[in-house]
Amino acid sequence: MDKLVISGGAKLEGEIRISGAKNAALPILAATLLSKQPIVLANLPHLQDVTTMLELLRTMGVDVTINEDMSVEICAGSLNSVIAPYDLVKTMRASVVVLGPLLAHFGEAIVSLPGGCAIGSRPVDLHIRGLEALGATINVEDGFIKAISNGRLKGAKILFDMVSVGATENILMAAVLADGTSIIENAAREPEVIDLANLLIAMGAQITGHGTDTITVEGVEALHGCEYKVMPDRIETGTYLVAAAMTGGKIKLKDTDPSTLDAVLMKLEDAGLKIEIEGNNIIGDMTGRTLKAVDITTAPYPAFPTDMQAQFCVMNAVAQGVSTIKETVFENRFMHIDELIRMGCDAKVNGNTCIITGVKQLNGAPVMATDLRASASLVLGGLVATGDTVMDRIYHIDRGYECIEEKLRQLGAKITRLVGKR
């Protein structure tokens, strides 16, 4: 099993390019199932989750071609199976988003109940109830969601009792081919949902209200092919800005989208990081500045993202002052705290709240990643710790960060991947 070895103490300086957004790429790949015509996608990140989703599409008979410019051409006209098998779905919870497009386009879907990060219960009941409202008949048996429609799905009004990005995406993809008008209320407003809607519009869908809590869809009979570029990854952007703040460095992040990061940038400025925005580039400068602890409360967009919570925990661990971190999106998402305590972090967890008192120094230690964003926090901790930090189970970080050790080395970090060592 691969490990990362991080030697702390280097100040990050330089510039890197931000990759395409994983959380946008996965539903966008699923959306290619909605047309029999080729769809060409650019700026897909080279990540394990993206590889898994492409393999899932291939398993169902979809034609996937990687072009010379690294764009990917996908054509679902050759689809010969509506089954998403357990051996692929178990590794990636986001793969449940093939349920809506398969059902809408092909009238049937058999999708294994999903797996993925162990950050608490993320039930699929919202997905199921929404699709049932559109006229689907769904049974959950033998570990599979088995869905069928009698002809085209029917437009409906769907009100989510809680905000869910995945459910919003699944219902949105199903509604674009339904007969009539669908209204999705209490919809997720995340930029990745907007990116999916923009792709669907490029394919011929009629959608309004994306980016608000009410999305209206006028169903069409068929969607066509198109070319589309996936949005930049706002969580990768935020993670590297935290790295600059923690190490007292100055970095430039190219090809990102500052407009998707308002809550994160505001908190980073509160922590002392100087932020400069130049078009699609962000410069984070901590040179000669003091890192200060900041309180955060996670909540659905446009509030502070849960996917940046772990990174801010480790930043607060070496900042001046005491901070309160409240996690309102997922239960069981403080598993990284025990590992950070092994490195000298002063933190106490009580339910969905973590109180962190800043310390002058973290110490290198053997640590273990428990989920994707937790693994990022451990890498960040290693960047400022004395000695070496050896991180195990790094397959988690490969699911969401493209070439993380190469990018960090480009910024001056001392980080090495040990391949196949146990």
For 184-213, what is the HEC assignment? Answer: EECCCCCHHHHHHHHHHHHCCCEEECECEC
Enter the pTM of the model. Answer: 0.95
Do residues 338 and 368 make contact, with C-beta atoms less than 8 angstroms apart?
A: no
Question: Which pLDDT does position 117 carry in this prediction?
Answer: 42
Q: What is the dihedral of CA 95, 164, 174, 54, to 10 degrees?
A: -20
What are the φ/ψ torsions at residue 200 (nearest 5 degrees)?
Answer: -60, -40
Does 117 participate in catalysis according to the annotation?
A: yes
Question: Which pLDDT does position 115 carry in this prediction?
Answer: 55
150-177: b (≥16 Cβ within 10 Å) or e: eebbbbbebebeebbbbbbbbbbbbbbb
Going from the C-alpha of 201 to that of each of 12, 175, 215, 222, 234, the distances in angstroms are 40, 13, 13, 12, 22
The residues, ordered by sequence, that sit 6+ positions from 249 with a Cβ below 8 Å of its Cβ are 11, 12, 13, 243, 286, 287, 411, 412
Looking from the CA of 249 toward its CB, the CA atoms found within 13 Å total 23
Q: Any idea which residue has 């339904």 for tokens? A: 178
Burial class (CB in 10 A: 0-12, 13-18, 19+), 125: exposed
Question: Which pLDDT does position 162 carry in this prediction?
Answer: 92
Pairwise CA distance, residues 382 & 317, whole Å: 12
What are the φ/ψ torsions at residue 356 (nearest 5 degrees)?
Answer: -120, 130
| Coil/strand/helix, residue 3 | strand
Question: Which pLDDT does position 89 carry in this prediction?
Answer: 83
| Coil/strand/helix, residue 16 | strand
Q: Which of 117, 226, 345, 354 is catalytic?
A: 117
Do residues 178 and 152 make contact, with C-beta atoms less than 8 angstroms apart?
A: yes
Q: CA 141: distance to chain centroid? A: 28
Can you give the pLDDT of all 422 residues of the chain as single tens digits?
899 999 999 999 999 999 999 999 999 999 999 999 999 999 999 999 999 999 999 999 999 999 999 999 999 999 999 999 988 888 787 788 999 999 999 999 999 887 544 434 456 889 999 999 999 999 988 888 999 998 999 999 999 999 999 999 999 999 999 999 999 999 999 999 999 999 999 999 999 999 999 999 999 999 999 999 999 999 999 999 999 999 999 999 999 999 999 999 999 999 999 999 999 999 999 999 999 999 999 999 999 999 999 999 999 999 999 999 999 998 778 999 999 999 999 999 999 999 999 999 999 999 999 888 889 999 999 999 999 999 999 988 998 999 999 999 999 999 999 997 44
Pairwise CA distance, residues 227 & 345, whole Å: 47
Pairwise CA distance, residues 336 & 318, whole Å: 15
